[in-house]
Amino acid sequence: IQVTQVVAVVGAGVVGLSTAVVIAEALPHCSVTVLADRFTPNTTSDGAAGILFASQFPGEQRRWFKRTFDHLLLIASSPEAGVAGVFLSSGWQIFREVPPEKKPYWSDCVLSFGTMTDAELKRFPQYKFGQAFTTIKCECPSYLPWLQKRLEKAGGIMIHEKVTDLAELGLRYDVIVNCSGLGSRELLGDEDVHPVRGQVLRVHAPWLQHFVRVADGHTYIYPGAGGVTLGGTRQAADSQAIFERCRRLEPSLGSARPLGEWVGLRPGRRNPRVERGHVRVHGRRVPVVHNYGHGGWGITLSWGTALDALDLVRQCLNERPPEARL
Amino acid sequence: MRVAVIGAGVIGLSTAQCIYERYHSAVSSLSIEVYADRFTPQTTSDGAAGLWQPYLYDNGNTLETKWNKETFDYLLGFLNSPDSIKMGIFLQSGYNLCSDPAPDPSFRDIVLGFRQLAKRELDLFPGYSHGWFNTALMIEGKSYLPWLMNWLKQRGVKFYQRKVSSFQELADSGVEVIINCTGVRSGELQPDPELKPGRGQIIKVSAPWLKHFILTHNFKKGVYNSPYIIPGSRHVTVGGVFQLGNWSEQNSTADHKKIWEEACSLEPSLKHARVMEDWSGLRPVRSRVRLEREMMQFGPVIHNYGHGGYGLTIHWGCALEAARLFGEIIDALKEPCLSDLKEH
């Protein structure tokens, strides 16, 4: 007989839920429980515009990005696109100066990547170079509930609980998967994790169909299903300043109606931590799989890092026979 | 001088605007009047989705391609102006899909960012083996027409809601030049066997996650008889019906079913879209646009009708040409008649 292994996933943002779903669907003999103090719509992921756009981390990011993109592309071309909040988005990334690398590593992961023509650049007179491509927008206020349903269908459950001690969790679970984002700073004492403040405005401007992003990441316009997200910041900034920068790029924003503002803290780290660890519980070692520190690329790397976390969970389960918990 | 424009769709209003702009200072006491039985939002132009896109091929009609380009460039110029949204102008990108390989369309060099679709993109649309991506413009009649009317009203242009039964009727009342922009019903003023209705029906839905137009082309079925999906600022227009010779403006359940099934095949996420309402309209179809002046016994008439399914797409180029023809009429009136000189 197959004994059910119990897996705890800490965190219910896009990384936690993606990881939980991946595990629950791949390992039917595992019972997955997501524990978090915040669920959608109150997670960091919920405030993000959700435009898939590749990161600048060293290491595995290409594989993580490609796998996430391909997974979301399947949803975007399915009947569920509107329900899941996952759909195609075309637009432009513009540069003030011609960059040394005109074709970044992710250019073949997105759809139809190309250099902007002179006619296309004319709309942005202060910018000398641009890239046009089609990527995916993944809106967490829709996507996270959709993942939650998928998790429940695979037998997973969710519990509202703030986890403050992984050892305590180790008493109750065979494997712990840590997707606590910024919470890892306190939970693990990982001082590499630091909050990177983001501030965005949302406006009603339903005629805007394209994203526009300035390459330095400080200014962007991301049209979505319920509104247009204007950003951004890496530090404190006046929302009027965000609006003005965006309006200079897209003058029709002058006719937009404000919907609200949002401030969130990205779980910044030099790179996402996707690796094994452990926690000591009464002399035993309970395996921990870490999957946190995605900075401003949680959605972009969510499925790819979840798949890597799954591999690590499999390893953990294969190495140790299940022991009775008393 | 009294000039009467008959028709208040995009053709009538833009022609009135163009003539006013170019001649109100040159022609003493130029007075422009617009007569129509239907005004926005009841015109054919109001129901159209508003995507700027000509038919795929102009079949040698380079004049119409020129007018299409003039319109595109003109509208593009308004993009960064504060009025762009009031006018209903904004950029939109999307897909043109063909079931078989096809030569590049006539508008390839007019639109922005035109390119062939890669296999990975074509895989998103099963059944279509070939296609193009480009960035074009939307020009929504429901915004553009009120903007035009406002523009004209501010400059003293008068509007009369009534059906004109004949050119003669207007001439008798003292109108000196008539501009005939009567679209699909032009035959009622002057029979034209080349002009036929191309009935279309569309379904308006709410599907705000859709950000690209998707137009399909089936060369066996003919233009517009194959599904298309065009997101707008207020709703998404779903269509794919072109019935030549059908005068009915009533929505057909059979057409609705056909449009809906084919569109859902093309874009599966429409399954969860909210259907709002249907609309039917009559495209004024002709082998080519009739844009010329005709001297009738009571005076000159400029004809500007027969723009098929591309009225919004071509309107400004035609308005410019109509204004040029108007200029010819003005010049002819100024020139002393040669026979007069001879007699003296």
> Taking CB atoms and an 8 Å cutoff, what residues of chain A touch B118?
111-112
Instruction: Please determine, for residue A96, whether its predicted confidence score (pLDDT) is greater than 70.
Output: yes
Instruction: Please determine, for residue A188, whether its predicted confidence score (pLDDT) is greater than 70.
Output: yes
Which amino acid, residue B236?
Answer: V
CA distance B301 to chain A (A): 39
Q: Check whether the bond before B309 is cis (ω within 30° of 0).
A: no
CA dihedral A302, A303, A308, A310 (to 10 degrees): 110
Count of all residues that appear for chain B in the document: 344
Among B85, B93, B207, beta carbon nearest to A255: B85
A270-305 per-position pLDDT tens digit? 999 999 999 999 989 999 999 999 999 999 999 999
Average pLDDT over residues A181-201: 94
Find where tokens 């499925």 sit.
A303
Whole-angstrom distance, CA of residue B163 vs CA of residue B36: 6
A251 with B82: Cβ contact below 8 A: yes
Which residues, 6 or more positions from B229, have their beta carbon under 8 angstroms from its beta carbon?
B210, B213, B214, B215, B236, B237, B238, B263, B266, B267, B270
A132/B contact by beta carbon, under 8 A: yes
Q: For B124, name the nearest residue in chain A, comparing CA atoms only.
A: A77
- Main-chain dihedrals φ then ψ at residue A263, nearest 5 degrees: -125, 135
CA distance B94 to chain A (A): 9
Q: For B264, name the nearest residue in chain A, comparing CA atoms only.
A: A79
CA distance B297 to chain A (A): 48
Find where tokens 């206020």 sit.
A141
B91 with A209: Cβ contact below 8 A: yes
Please report which confidence band the pLDDT of residue B236 belongs to, taking 50, 70 and 90 as the band edges: very high
A192-201 per-position pLDDT tens digit? 999 999 899 9
> Taking CB atoms and an 8 Å cutoff, what residues of chain B touch A227?
none
CATH topology of domain A1-48+140-193+269-326: Rossmann fold (3.40.50)
B82 with A207: Cβ contact below 8 A: no
| Per-residue confidence (pLDDT) for residue A102, from 0 to 100 | 85
Query: Are the C-beta atoms of residues B28 and B330 closer than 8 Å to each other?
Result: no
| Cα–Cα distances in angstroms (integers) from residue B146 to residues B143, B151, B233, B284, in the given order | 6, 8, 16, 21
Query: Are the C-beta atoms of residues B314 and B68 closer than 8 Å to each other?
Result: yes
ipTM summary value: 0.94
B124 with A77: Cβ contact below 8 A: yes
Whole-angstrom distance, CA of residue B318 vs CA of residue B316: 5
Q: How far is CA B107 from the centre of its chain?
A: 16
B85 with A251: Cβ contact below 8 A: no
- CB neighbours (10 Å) of residue B12? 29
> Taking CB atoms and an 8 Å cutoff, what residues of chain B touch A85?
209
Whole-angstrom distance, CA of residue B137 vs CA of residue A186: 51
> Taking CB atoms and an 8 Å cutoff, what residues of chain A touch B272?
79-80, 82-83
Please report which confidence band the pLDDT of residue B196 belongs to, taking 50, 70 and 90 as the band edges: very high
Give contacts of A 221-250 with B, CB under 8 A. 223, 225-226
Whole-angstrom distance, CA of residue A177 vs CA of residue A13: 13
**What string of DSSP letters covers A174-241?**
SEEEE--GGGHHHHH--TT-EEEEEEEEEEE-TT--SEEEETTSS-EEEE-SS-EEEE--SS---HHH
DSSP letter (8 states) at residue A322: -
Mutate to test the interface with A, among B134, B204, B211 (most CBs of A within 10 A): B211
Instruction: Please determine, for residue B305, whether its predicted confidence score (pLDDT) is greater than 80.
Output: yes
Please report which confidence band the pLDDT of residue A237 belongs to, taking 50, 70 and 90 as the band edges: low
**What string of DSSP letters covers B13-58?**
HHHHHHHHHHHTTTSTT-EEEEEES--TTSSHHHHS--B----S--
Q: Which residues of B are annotated as a binding site for D-serine?
A: 228, 283
Q: Which residues of A are annotated as a binding site?
A: 37-38, 44-45, 163, 220, 266, 295-300
DSSP letter (8 states) at residue B167: H
